[in-house]
Every structure is written in C-alpha cells, then in structure tokens.
Structure 1
Amino acid sequence: MTPKACDQCYRNKEKCSFTLAAEKRLGRRPNSKSFVHGSLHIWDYERGNQIETNNSRSSTRASNCISPSTSASCLDLALPREKKEDDEQDVPLARVLDQILQYHSTLQTTTDAMRIVTHDVQFAVIHIPFTMGRSFMNDLRNSVYSVLSQSAPTLTDGYIAFLVLVAHCQASRLYCTTPDLYRGARALRVLRNIKTVRHQDAVGILLLGQVLFVFEILTDTFTSSAHSIVRSALISARRWYPFLLQEPRFDTITICPIIMDTVCCLVYREVPVIRLCIQNRIIVDRFMGVSSTLMPLLYDLCVISHIAKSATAGITLNSPRTIDEEHPDDCYSDIEKSIEDWVPTLPPDFLSAYDKAEVQMMLTQANVYRLAGLLVIHRLRYPFGVRDSVAQHYANCIFSEMSSSCAALTQDGMRALPIMFPLWISMFEVEGPGEDLLEKFSCFPLPSVCMSKLCGFVKHVRMAKESGYNGLWFDLVENNLHFAVIP
C-alpha cells in the first residue's frame, strides 16, 4: 500500500503536498557523466555563455590525457597540434627563432615545453639539426611528445635547457647566452640516479642522454664528459634494448645514441655499450640513415682495437715491423674485409619515400663511413710515416664523396650533417680539402660549432707529424683531445 504521507508529515498530522517539476531547478547538481576508466578529465570554467565551448575543449583534452591503465605503450599517444595560418610554414627561420627566444625565460614547466613540441614550425626549427630532413620530422615529434608526456619528471629540466641552447645556436647567438647550468645539473642528477623498471623509463633515459650530450657540447669549450653522458644512458637502458630494437616506433630515440657511442669508442679504443644487430627489418634512421648494418662491424672493430690496445701480445703482433706491408695478416684482416665488402640495404621505396637531398645525404654518409672504417683500420696498423699514401688515398676519397654531394647537402642548411667524424679523421692525413668543406658547411650552425673545437686536435696531430712523431694518432687522444667527438 502506498503511504499517503511522509514520515515527517505523518508525525505532524499534516498532508503531503507533491509538485511535479517540469524543469530542473537552478543550483541542482549536473548529472554525472561516465568517463573512460582511468582517464583524468580537467574542466575549464569561463564566464559568460561559453559552457558548450568549455565542454568541447574538455573533451578534447580528455582524449589526449595519459591514462595509467593505458600507458603500456610509450609512443602511442596522439599528438595534438596547434592551428596555424596557412602561410606560417613560410615564416623566415630568423623570425621563428626570435619568437622562441623572446619567451625563452618563461620556459619553466612541461607545459611550456609542450608549446614548442605541439607547434609544427618551432619544433622543426629546433630539431632539424638532428634529422636527415623533414621526412623524419613527424616521427621524431611524435616520439618526443609521447616521451615527454609519460616521463616528464625525468626529461623536463634537460629538455628545456636543450631547447633554449639549441635555439641560440641556430640563431648564431650562442656567444651571448648563459646556459641554464642549474637545470642541466638537475637533469644530470636524474640521469645518474634513475632506475629503469619499464621500457618507457628506458626510452626516456635515452632521450635525456641525447639532449644532455648536446647541452654539454654547446656549453663547454672543453669537455670530456659528453661521451660519458651517452654511455650512462645506454647502460641504464641496456637490458631493454632487445625489446626496443624490435619496435620500429622506438627507432627515433634508440638508434642515434648507438652511433654516438660507437664513434667515440673508435677514437678512444673502447668497447661500445650496444651492438646494433637487426636482421628482420630494414632501418632508415633520422640520424644513421641507411648505415645501421655497418654499426655491428664498427662495434667489432672497436672490440678488436680495444684488445690490441690492452694486450701486450696484441700490440706486438700489430707492430709494423712484424706485418707484411703488402699482405697484412693480423687481427684486423677479417673485419677489414667485411667493411670493405659492406653495402647498405635499401628499402624498395627508398627513392620515392625521401626527397633527393635526403637520399643524397644518406648515401653519402654510408660511403664515407665505410671509408672511415677502413682508414681507422689502416691507422691502427700503421703509425705516421708508414704507408702514409694509403691513408691519404682514403682521406681524399672521403673528401671527394663529400664534395660531390656538397651542393645537395647545403642547399638549405636545414638538416643533420652526421658525416663529421669521417671528415675529422681525414683532416689528419691531408691538409686543405677538409678546411674547404668546413667553410661550405658553415651554414650548419651546430656541427660548425663542434668542428671549430675539434680542429684544435687536428692542428696538434699535424704538428706532431711535422715534428717527427711516428706513433699512432690514437695514442695522442688521451692527453690532447679535449672535446667530444661527434658523428
């Protein structure tokens, strides 16, 4: 039986009065909406009649937020992009850099960094020195956005310090800025102390290692710690590399540190942290191009060189007095043959997927790195004064490869130039062509800054040769090379 009065009216002996409300009263709570499990929605409130606009914006933000239950894949987050005028892509480089530098002092938080990451033109201007061309920019941008979203505490300080310094370098104003050493130190502390418990942590650490490497080489006139920064990141991420290298979406972050470490190890005769060996797919990397299959050979060369350096028997074996100069049969023979026979593996759509300048850059890089490997082997065998003509032949071949591609490579100065290591070691052997190429490459600000510092060691090696030094140039590195070697 339906009661005719509520408990209160029954006690007071009153009759209940029922009113049907056609509309919801003002002040009533809104009906709760069901959100996707694990999502965090942040609502914006504005005055006036903009409720629908706010709801629309909130829905957009919610779709891009990080969900703890769906963060298993580090690089699967959608990248929101700012709307721009149609002609903004044609804004001069100097004006874009001015816009960034005008508010660089306000870059303090992850949100501030994200403003640049989600801006097409500003992101490209800052990051183009680290890619072969614009064809690689979208993948790099998606990767940086995802890693920064999921590893903000790890990456923010180092990334902001990197952004500001690279912007000044691109604008040729490096001399008039003070690097944010406080942020750099905090980021370095994170790199040293972080524990990698997930593959997302490993990817974040690898990106942090790269941005801190760049920060270090642009900050100091003399630095011996930049290589150790990259090695530290690789060591922290090493146990995750077998998984990361099977996932193409991680390539933009995971491949570059390997060539950075390998090149330095060739010079210092050390063993790289990672041996890159991928057999089930073809890699075309933003920085390594089509040379990924050469990296295992250079790794093996580093191992052999390190053993020869460390073992007295190996050093004796490789002495030029005990080697047949015409038919050397020593510990370098097999790896020399492998590098000599190496050719890059190209994907079927290589010529159509990339523009002409990018193709030229990648093929040039592959050729000069193969020649550089052979030149390194020759100088590990023979000190200055022994078979110098062969070393000069390799050096001139490297200069010729670069010169023939120079017009295509320098047409806009807007790309990475990862051929500095072959150029640098060739300058030990022949004077003149290397300086001419550096003059032509002056439109690339970041490599030019680094090579201007590395040329100090070139001068030292040449002076040693002129004074009668008849040892290996590798033996001069420990006490006389005061700057990081760049690829």
Structure 2
Amino acid sequence: MGHVPASSRAGASVQFTMNHPYSTSSPGKPRWATRNRLSPERTEDGLYQANNKKEYVSASDHGHNGPAAAAAHRAANSPVNAVAVLQQSRRQDLYQSITLFPELSSLELCLLESMLHKQIEVDRYIIGPSFRERHQQAFVDYLQSGMTLVKDAFIACMVLLVENPQIRKLAQDQHVGHKRAANALASLRHLEVSGSDNSSAVLMLGIAIVTFASHHSGGELPLCRHTLDLVKRFHDNEPTFIKQLSCDGISALNCLLATETFICLLRGHVPSIRIREGDFDGLVDRFMGVSAPLLTHLYDVCQLIELIRRSRRESNNSHLRARLRTRLKTVEQTLRVWQPMSLESLREGNFTPTEITLMLTQVMVLRQTALIVLYRLQHAFGTHDGRAIAMSRYLVRELHSMVRLTGRSAPCLDFPYLFACFELVDRWEREAALCNLHLVAEFSPRTADDLKTWLVSFWTARDNSGGGSIYWDDIESHLFGTGGRM
C-alpha cells in the first residue's frame, strides 16, 4: 500500500521532548484485574474515587440553612462537579493555546474544538461505551501535553471521527485530512524520542496516523513498524516499560501491535516487539479486551512462519526442521492451555452484556486463529482438510453469531475472519463469506475491500494449485508476489 505523501515540511527534523506537568487531567492508569477483581484504583477511565465527607443538616433548618441549600452546596462541592469545572477550565485554556497556531484554518479549529467537547464518534473503534469517555479524553490529554507534535495527526483523525456530518463533509471536500496527515507523517519520519517517558505520546501519534491511513492510502505495516521502532529500545531494555505507560499509551501500543501482527501473520514477517509474558495479564483493554496477552504468542507464531519458510529453502538442514517442529508443538500447546487471567473479573466488572460478548468472542477467535495458522504450517491447503475446515466453520459461525447478537463487530477480528475463510471450498459458503465480510470488517471500508481482494486471490491460487502445494508460509508469494501494497 502506498504511503501518505510527504509534505514540504519533510526536511524539517523534529526534536521531541515532552513533559506531563498536570496530574488530574493526565492520561489515566490502565484497567487491570488483580486477584480476580478489577482494581478500583487503576481503571481505563483513570478516575480516582474521592472520599465524600458527609454533611449533617437539621431537618428544621430553613432558608439558607435548609435542605435545599444543603443539597445545592453538596452538588456545587461534589468531586464530580469539581472535575467538570476543572475540565471546562482546561478546555478553555487548551483552546486558547490552539489558536496560537496561525496556520490552522477556521475549519481545522472547528475540528479540534469538536474533539475538545468530545463530539466525536469512537465506538466502532473500541470494544464499547465503557471505554468511550477515556478514549475521547485521550485526544484532549495528548493535545494538551504535546500539541506541536500531535495536532496534525489529530486533525486528520478528527475528519473521520467528528460527529457533525456537515463539518465532516466540508473537511473531506477540502482534503483537510490528507494535508494534515502528510504533515504528521513528515513529523513521524524525523522524530527523535528522548526517553521512555515520551513513549505514550509517540504511540498516540502513531495510532492517529495509522487510523487515517487505514481509511485512505493504506501503508499500515510500515507506519506501525516505524512507530513501534521508536519505542522498541525502551521496551526491550526497561523491564518496567509497560508500567510506565499511561492507559492510553498501553492501548495505543496494543492497537499498533495487533495491526502489525495480523499483517505479519499473513505475510510471514516478525512483528517489531515481543511483549514479555505476564506484562498484559489481567489487562482489560479498549481495543483488545482481555486478549492482549495473546500478542506474545502471536509473535511466536509469526516467528515460526518466517523460520519454517526459510527452512523449506534449506532442504538439507534436517536438524533445523526438527527443532522447528518441536518449537511449533510447544507454541501450539501453550495456546491450547492459555486462558486470560481476567475472565472472572470481566463478568464482575462494570461492562455491558454486549461488551462481554465481544471480548469473549475475541479471546476464542484470536486463539483459534493462531491454531489454524499453526495447522497450515504443518499441512498444506488441500491436505488433511477435515480438521481445518471444522475449525474454520466454527470461527465463521461464531463471528456471524456475534454480529447478530450484538449488532456490531469487535476490533482485531477482520484478519481472523479472512484467515478462517481461506479454508472454505464450497461455492455457496464462499459467496456467503464475501457477502458478510463487511459486517465483521466494519472498521474501514477500504480494509474490507482489500480483504475481499485477497480472499478471492487466495481461493483462485488454491483452486489452480491442484491441492497440496500451498502451506501457510507460501501465502505471501501468492497474494503479493515479491512486493505488496501493505
């Protein structure tokens, strides 16, 4: 896929240093489940419960000292009202800061103002409404703490998210998103990250650019890789890196890693970062739900694809092939016994039935997808099909059932649907899969179109191969040749 075009500012190097001088409006801590309970101190919302002092008012009090006055006093001084007043004040200060950039048009200022007032639609990008407030606030927080860095990317993203259809249409007609995305990409390409404390902002910048690209020009893989490479050394060298990230930084990391990982599964590449086992245990994430720990094991599957493809070219290296078979069985067994640590707390937490259904479906589908890939690394398409087709049909049925029950899809399920449909050989099943693909891959129409193209291309290659010649590690060459638009 093509890159977002670089702007005339591409030659300007961006030195990025960032502090988080504020506390109450800074990005919240992530939601974790500990000891099978959701910890009230660390949530996606980042809200800390204040101790409410009880006020005792005599029933005989009247006028300024009566119950009505006491109630008004309590409301005015409640923690919720205090937070609202503080947020309103900060929004005003932030808007004043935005207007200091003379190059911003009135339409771009309007887009940012919509973001500040949370008049943006984010639900289709996240698990559900329980995470909506935090995700909307994330844009406000990082615009406040790193305006020069993120404003271009956020403006481009707001063209997609703004609720007002007239503003959206006007911005699209004036190509506001593409212009700002080009500036943001130039900044990303020349970005120098001074330390791990800046990583959350870098990841938020990356997720905004990738979101825009996924709807327009594509190029998600190189964009994800470049962003993740900026923080990779901090992750690999600092065992507490994940704990240092804000909840928004963790979610952005998950989103970028998941996007990169599924493309890597398709193409047989190795993702940028292998999350340490245990780092995401108990996490309930706005994008990955309770499935984030699976990213570690999906990394291992990607690594196996690359190594097995290499070993097939080295026909005389029987020792390597034996070691890879052992490694594959180990990864497969790990996936079969893996369970998210936060399932009980998920049921006890403040999540809607729809959100729980989506998160449980995510867990099942992502794990089963990894097992299908491992199976097709051992057995070519067209051989030993019974088990693979059974797993595939089960996944397709579960995904269709999820959409029927909830009226929507969940993040990170578009590529698993593609992989499951690779197994279909019946004409009617294939037609149904193509008709329903957009219901599962609802994140981006452009992505859904690409998935349809790849699916038809793979079916054609499989049907023409005569069976038995295409393993999973061969898929890239059949879909993309030596290159690819991704």
Could you tell me the TM-score, scaled by structure 2's length? Answer: 0.69
Letter in 1 for 2:181: G
In structure 2, do the counterparts of structure 1 residues 175 and 334 end up closer, same or farther at CA, with 3 Å as the change threshold?
farther
Q: Report how far residue 428 of structure 1 moved.
A: 1.3
Q: Which residue of 2 aligns with 1:260?
A: 259
Task: Specify the SS of the correspondent of 1:383.
Answer: coil
Contact 2:309 2:473 in 1 (8 A): no
Q: Which residue of 1 aligns with 2:412?
A: 418
Pairing partner for 2:192 from 191, 195, 206: 195
- Number of residue pairs matched by the alignment: 381
Letter in 1 for 2:149: T
Matched, 1:456 2:450: no
Give per-residue Cα distances to partners, 1:291-347, cap 9 Å, x unaligned. Answer: 1221211111112222222345777779xxx99xxxx95541111111122222225
Contact 1:170 1:445 in 2 (8 A): no
Q: Which residue of 2 aligns with 1:350?
A: 346
Contact 1:170 1:446 in 2 (8 A): no
Q: Which residue of 2 aligns with 1:119?
A: 117
Q: Report how far residue 459 of structure 1 moved.
A: 0.6
Q: Report how far residue 417 of structure 1 moved.
A: 3.6
Q: Report how far residue 263 of structure 1 moved.
A: 1.4
Task: Specify the SS of the correspondent of 2:334.
Answer: helix
Q: Which residue of 1 aligns with 2:224?
A: 230
- Of 275-284 and 459-468, deviating more is 275-284
Partners in 1 of 2:276 and 2:396 — Cα distance? 29
Q: Which residue of 2 aligns with 1:340?
A: 336
Task: Specify the SS of the correspondent of 2:269.
Answer: coil
Q: Report how far residue 456 of structure 1 moved.
A: 0.5
For residues 6-17 of structure 1, the aligned pairs below 5 Å read none
For residues 28-427 of structure 1, the aligned pairs below 5 Å read 70=21, 75=27, 106-109=106-109, 112-120=110-118, 122-123=119-120, 125=121, 127-167=122-162, 177=173, 178=175, 180-220=177-217, 223=218, 225-241=219-235, 242-247=239-244, 249=247, 250-277=249-276, 279=278, 281-312=281-312, 329-346=325-342, 348-351=344-347, 352-410=349-407, 413=408, 416-427=410-421
Q: Report how far residue 180 of structure 1 moved.
A: 3.4
In structure 2, do the counterparts of structure 1 residues 464 and 69 end up closer, same or farther at CA, with 3 Å as the change threshold?
closer
Partners in 2 of 1:401 and 1:170 — Cα distance? 34
Letter in 1 for 2:452: C
Contact 1:420 1:447 in 2 (8 A): no
Q: Structure 2: state its 5+ residue gaps.
A: 1-17, 29-45, 47-82, 90-103
Partners in 2 of 1:174 and 1:365 — Cα distance? 36
Letter in 1 for 2:305: S
Partners in 1 of 2:266 and 2:164 — Cα distance? 26
Contact 1:339 1:370 in 2 (8 A): yes
Contact 2:112 2:158 in 1 (8 A): no
Larger relative contact order (Cα-Cα within 8 Å, sequence gap ≥ 6): 2
Contact 2:288 2:412 in 1 (8 A): yes
Letter in 2 for 1:163: M
Could you tell me the TM-score, scaled by structure 1's length? Answer: 0.68
Contact 1:453 1:483 in 2 (8 A): no
Q: Which has the larger radius of gyration?
A: 1
Contact 1:179 1:219 in 2 (8 A): no
Contact 1:130 1:287 in 2 (8 A): yes
Contact 2:139 2:154 in 1 (8 A): no
In structure 2, do the counterparts of structure 1 residues 228 and 191 end up closer, same or farther at CA, with 3 Å as the change threshold?
same
Q: Structure 1: state its 5+ residue gaps.
A: 1-66, 84-103
Q: Report how far residue 113 of structure 1 moved.
A: 4.8
Aligned residues with identical type, % of pairs = 21
Alpha-carbon RMSD = 3.7
Q: Which residue of 2 aligns with 1:472?
A: 471
Q: Which residue of 2 aligns with 1:48?
A: none
Task: Specify the SS of the correspondent of 1:279.
Answer: coil
Give per-residue Cα distances to partners, 1:49-94, cap 9 Å, x unaligned. Answer: xxxxxxxxxxxxxxxxxx97835996269786569xxxxxxxxxxx
Partners in 2 of 1:368 and 1:329 — Cα distance? 24
